[in-house]
Structure 1
Amino acid sequence: MRNYFQVLKLIKETLEADNLVNTVTQGDIADVDLDKKNIYPLTHIQTGAATLGLQTISFSITVFAMDIRDKRNQTVEEKFVGNDNEIDNMNTMLAILNRLYKAIVKLDNDVAISENPTCEPFYESRMNLLDGWAMTFDIEIPNTEIAVC
């Protein structure tokens, strides 16, 4: 059975093809940190529940897109924009997730996203100045590798 590997590989390769993504990781989101080996913007794949059906397997996936917030030392008079790149980060990270969703939907294979994804913002996550979005969706693939007798 290779279904889990196939889903991770599909998402990873799609994210790596995005020119704005520098690093793709997977696993527990708590393991993502400001390690100097991580080059931002970073995307992170986290798997939730898997639902086994006779015809399909559905995986709940959350993909995080995040970048480091850069604080400017200069005083900014514009209160809406502030003295950092928060708005730019949020716009760019949402665009990465939108492209991922559209790329998977347009694929001509047996993989399908069953509902429209939900994106939730996060700001200065865990005090490490990472801003971005978390997109959650269910992805279905055929359950054809193990026959039911």
Structure 2
Amino acid sequence: MNFYAIVGKYLEGIFKQDPLVNTVMFGTINERDIEKYLIFPLVHIIPGDMTLNENRIELEFEIACVDLRDIRPDSNTDKFWNDNLIDSLNQSAAILVKGLNIIRKKRNANDIILVSSTSATPVIFEEKNIVDGFSIHLTLSIQNTVKACQ
């Protein structure tokens, strides 16, 4: 069946509705900070493990929300406020909280249910693209519609 496609599209739809989000992507973590054409803030949906139960399938995802850091070395001498790191972290947290609240509370056509979520972990990259934000891990379940042979 296409469980990852159904749940992936569900997650994509939630985050695409957020006016703060410019790009939603699905794939590996390596694609996130090397693509120069991406428009930030970005929500990145990374598939994880799948648990096969008789009645429901559990799918794990990492959801990362990041934004480009804007370093302004000439703005002032205050090292704490010379970039928008705090703004990026605040905005990323708001996007993830809003998305998680929708997943928790809103009914959906495919009966996708939140099983668990982790605390948000800061994502701070200073290599190729300087992007910052937060990442959470979610486990979602969907009805197992595959019929066993009789």
TM norm structure 2: 0.90
Structure 1 match to 2:48? 48
Distance in 1 (CA, whole Å) between partners of 2:66 and 2:126 is 9
Deviations 1:76-111 (A, max 9, x none): 3545x3300000100100110111111111121421
Distance in 2 (CA, whole Å) between partners of 1:108 and 1:33 is 33
Shift of 1:35: 3.0
Q: Among the aligned pairs, what percent are the same residue?
A: 32
Matching of residue 108 in structure 1 with residue 107 in structure 2: yes
Matching of residue 5 in structure 1 with residue 17 in structure 2: no
* Residue type at the aligned position of 2:119: T
Which secondary structure state, in structure 2, belongs to the residue aligned with residue 131 of structure 1? Answer: strand
8 A contact 1:69–1:124 mirrored in 2: no
- After the TM superposition, which residues 117-128 of structure 1 pair with which residues of structure 2 at under 5 Å, given as runs? 117-128=118-129
Structure 1 match to 2:92? 93
* Residue type at the aligned position of 2:24: V
Distance in 1 (CA, whole Å) between partners of 2:14 and 2:90 is 19
Which secondary structure state, in structure 2, belongs to the residue aligned with residue 5 of structure 1? Answer: helix
Distance in 1 (CA, whole Å) between partners of 2:103 and 2:67 is 23
8 A contact 2:34–2:128 mirrored in 1: no
Structure 2 match to 1:141? 142
Structure 1 stretches of 5 or more lacking a match?
Answer: none
8 A contact 1:51–1:57 mirrored in 2: yes
TM norm structure 1: 0.91
CA RMSD for the aligned pairs? 1.6
8 A contact 1:105–1:113 mirrored in 2: yes
Distance in 1 (CA, whole Å) between partners of 2:41 and 2:87 is 12
Distance in 1 (CA, whole Å) between partners of 2:142 and 2:147 is 15
Measured at CA, do residues 126 and 78 of structure 1 come closer, stay the same or move farther in structure 2, by a change above 3 Å? closer
Measured at CA, do residues 126 and 134 of structure 1 come closer, stay the same or move farther in structure 2, by a change above 3 Å? farther
* Residue type at the aligned position of 1:16: K
Structure 2 stretches of 5 or more lacking a match?
Answer: none
